[in-house]
Every structure is written in structure tokens, then in C-alpha cells.
Chains A and B, each alone.
Chain A
Amino acid sequence: MAEARFYLKLFVFRMREPFTDFLATGITYVLYCFFVWLLSMVWMRFNAHNSLFTFKQVLLYIGVTELLFMSFLSLRAITGATEDFALFLARPRSWVGREIMANIGMNLGKRLLFALSLIGFSYLLGAQPEDPPAFLARLALLLVLLALPQALIATLFSTLRLTFPQSDYFVLPFSKIFLALGGVFGPLSDYGEPWRWVFLNLPGADLFFQPAFFAVHGYFFETDFANWALRLIVLNAVLLIVTLFFYQRGRRAYQAWGG
């Protein structure tokens, strides 16, 4: 019970963290709104004529994918996680558990703030959702469901750098796999074949395109909720297994300073 309370407190603490220094981080949300606007303009220029989306919908779509992406992988959080790894070897608590809970908390906190920015920004541009309560309910559901895979991917990189410190250089390109192939730039449904089919079957589509499509339209693109949830469960399971594998490997190979 005490264990569960510790992880819950940690989760709440990390979730509240982005709210504590809003004045300093506030400008990040300006950048977020800028990217939503910019990508919507690019979409308007090239894809508006043959799309399943109206301008209002695409603005919300990009708003959702960007809020998921801009809180996706933080190199600072990944490197920070391993700083006290040696101490955890002497503690009766799980380092992996601590990392997963901390990442879930931090991720949810950031995403809530991005979601608030999106709502404000969409009203400012007159592109607010047609049914705001339904949109918010769907978004809230997605934020909860997507917190775990995001936390597992961040923890995976933290465990990887225990053995391979050079993995830091691959955080950025790895995140770009999801940015470029996951439909963050624009709806995958508007892409030309054969790339649309390829990208729709990659994990990036499950983490970015399908959730954003669902948030805007209320249904998934060429699939249903059960199928998407099943893919998400499989992805979580694979990520957990790989994370635990690299954790065990890292623990065995780890040498503290002076060791």
C-alpha cells in the first residue's frame, strides 16, 4: 500500500510540475499555436482541395497531433532519469516503476496545458469544435490512454542509455519517425498511395493519426475502436518487454563513477 502511495504521489507531483512555472514556460504554448497555424496553412495550400477535412477540422487535427508530439520525448527527462540510477540500486523501490509513473504524470500535465492552449487558440481563430463537450471528452480519453505508451518509450530510452550512452543522439531521429510517418504534419488520410497504406500500418499512426482523427471526427479512419485499442495493447506489451530487457542488461553492465 505504501508503495502504491509513493508512486501515486510521484505521479501527481510530476503532473503538477508544468503548472508551477507557467510564466516561464508560457511561451512554449505560443510556439505550439504557431506550429498549429503554420501546418494548417501548408495543408490549405497543398491538400485542401481533396481532403476529408475542412479548415476548422484540420486545425483541430493538427492541434491534437502537435499536442501529442510536443510532449512526446524529452531528452532532458530521459537523461535526467539516469542521473540517480546508482542511488536506486540501493533503494527498495523500482527505478523502472518510478520512471514510468513520473513520465505518465509529466506527460499528462504537459498535454493538459497544450489542450487548454488549443481550445483557446481555436476559439481565437473561429475554428472551435462543432460539439465542444464531445470533442473534449474524446480528447480526455485519448490523453489517458496514450500516456502509457509515451511513458514506456521515454523509459525505454532511459534504460538504453544505461548501456549505450550514444543512444542520446538517436532520440531526435526516433521521434521524427513518429513526426514524419505518424501524420503529425497533416492527416494521413490525405496522403497519396502507396505511402498512405504503409504509414497507416505503422505504430506512429496508432499514436498520432488515429487518435487525432478520432478526436475530430468521433470515429477512426478505416478501423474501429476495438482494433485500435488492441494494437495499442500489443504496442504497450512489446515496449514493456523491450524496456525490461534493456533495464536488466543496463543494470548488469552499469558502472557507477569510481567503480
Chain B
Amino acid sequence: MRLVFRAAIFHFRTHWSNQANFWSGITGMLVNNSLILFGIWAMLFAGKSHLNESRDGFLMMNLILMLAWGCLHVFGGGATTLDTQITQGHLDSAMTTPRAPLLVLSLTSSYLPAWGDMLLGFIGILAFSFRLGPVFFLHALLISIFATLALLAVYLFIGCLAFWFRRTDNAHSVLVNICLAFNTYPVYEGSGAGPRWMIFILPLLLSGAVPAAYLVNPSLKMLALEAGGSVVMFFLARAVFHRGLRRYQSASVPSLQRS
């Protein structure tokens, strides 16, 4: 924990050292996310009071996703670029320390604009809490932790592709975008009334859609699904990482193969 804390402090100092960059990055992301939310809201919900419950679910889904995405990219940004780190040989140096390589890789970088995501997600949840009460805030914080864990697992699964395949950058971008899209656009009905095939992509929905369904209608079943699902996903992803680690060859070998 001390290492995580120190890494976060150092990354923050780096970001803060260039104020123009810091505020540009945050403002850019705040505007970016607000525009997406506004655009979808204007398309689907503006002037349609009968869709109020769906609207709240849509907003909560996006706020939880933003908070989870922001936390992950700010405090464990390295995990989100796992494939690049593996193909570029950063794993070599991560394995030379007595600490877990996955932890070391995760703490190597922090994505500045993600502060904007975190901020907007947090402000949005505070706004909902003002309307729905402090218990909602506690629910939202708890569910955000699991959503972050689930998102981390998704990034790990996708990043680990680099252990088995050569050029994974395009695949990484596509798979991440697909996961984010399912938690951004309201395809899934929180009450479970979505298409039946949705059950097959349930692990992807743990970062936004399932938490939102829980926040709209809190139930022990949904909480268990989110908590159990994200923990299982994380341990599975960790197992895949260690499996990949066993077949990993030093960076010089893949680079020779590519040349």
C-alpha cells in the first residue's frame, strides 16, 4: 500500500509540475465526457419524462464508469497499457524487483486527463447523493470499488493477449472500446429486461451497467453479482497474466523475431 501511495504522490507531482498541461488535460476530458453525456441525453431523454428511470440509470452507468476508468488510469495507469509494456520489454525490468511484476507494471504510469474522468464521476455521484440521500453515496462508493476491479480485470485480460500474439495494439483498442461502449450506451435494461444474449457479455457489464442497475434498484442479488463477478474476474485475469508470464521471453527475442 505504501508503494501505491508513494507512486500516486510522485505521479501527481509530475502532473502538477506543468500547470498548463494539467489544467488543459483535465478541462479537455471534462468537456469531452460532458458532451457525450449531453449528446446521448438530448437524443434519448430530452423532453421524455416517461423515460426518467432509464435516464437515471444511463447517467449512473456513465458516472460509475468514469469514476472507475479515472481511478484505474490515474492510480494504475500501467495496467491499462499492459500489452505495450510487454511488447516493448518493460516487463523485463519489472521482473528484476522483489515485488509482484503486475503491481510494478501497473504503477509505472499515470494518465493525466483521467483526473477529469474521476472528477466528473465523483461530482455526478455527489449530485445524485444530494437528491437520493447519503446512503446512496455509500452504495455508489462501494459499487465503484468493484467496478474499478472489474475494469482492471478487463484491461488485464486484453493486455495479456500480448503474451500470445504479436501485434495486439489494434485488437486492444477495439476490445477496450467495445467494453466501454456496452457501459456507455443504454443497450442493457437495468431491471434485466435486456436481450437474452446479454447474459454472455455480463463480465463486460460489471464496470458500469450492472453497478447502475444496482444503484437504481439496490438488491443483495445485484450486489453479490457485482462483487462476486468482479473478484472472480480479477483472479482469473491474474491467473492468465501468470500463465503468460511463464511463457514470456525477454524483449530481445520478440524484437529479433519481428526484424
Residue A238 interfacial (CB < 8 Å): no
The contact string, 1 if C-beta is below 8 Å from chain B, for chain A 167-181, is 001101100110111
Interface size class of B (residues with CB under 8 A): 35 or more
Q: Are B43 and A30 in contact (CB under 8 A)?
A: no
Contacts of B54 in A (CB 8 A): 46
- Supposing A38-B187, A177-B35, A186-B43 touch, asked if A192 and B170 sit within 8 A by C-beta, the answer is no
Task: With both chains docked as a complex, state the minimum distance between the C-beta of A90 and any C-beta of chain B, in angstroms.
Answer: 30
Select one of B27, B39, B181 contacting A176, CB under 8 A. Answer: B39
Residue A236 interfacial (CB < 8 Å): no
Separation of A166 and B174 alpha carbons in the complex (Å):
27
- Supposing A41-B187, A169-B113, A176-B36 touch, asked if A185 and B27 sit within 8 A by C-beta, the answer is no
Residue B239 interfacial (CB < 8 Å): no
Separation of A84 and B167 alpha carbons in the complex (Å):
27
Binds B, one of A11-19, A20-28, A144-152: A20-28
Q: Are A24 and B170 in contact (CB under 8 A)?
A: yes
Q: Are B32 and A193 in contact (CB under 8 A)?
A: no
The contact string, 1 if C-beta is below 8 Å from chain B, for chain A 33-72, is 0110011011001110000000000000000000000000
Select one of B35, B46, B174, B186 contacting A192, CB under 8 A. Answer: B46
Q: Are B187 and A42 in contact (CB under 8 A)?
A: yes
- Supposing A27-B171, A45-B187 touch, asked if A195 and B40 sit within 8 A by C-beta, the answer is no
Residue B185 interfacial (CB < 8 Å): yes
Residue of B nearest to A179 (CB): B39
Separation of A34 and B20 alpha carbons in the complex (Å):
37
Contacts of A180 in B (CB 8 A): 35-36, 38-40, 42
Q: Are B177 and A31 in contact (CB under 8 A)?
A: yes
Contacts of B46 in A (CB 8 A): 191-192, 195
Q: Are B181 and A170 in contact (CB under 8 A)?
A: no
Select one of A27, A170, A179, A191 contacting B42, CB under 8 A. Answer: A191
Task: With both chains docked as a complex, state the minimum distance between the C-beta of B62 and any C-beta of chain A, in angstroms.
Answer: 13
A residues 111-126 near B (Cβ < 8 Å) are none
A-B contact pairs, 9 of them (CB 8 A): A30-B174, A31-B173, A41-B187, A169-B29, A170-B24, A173-B31, A176-B32, A180-B42, A185-B40
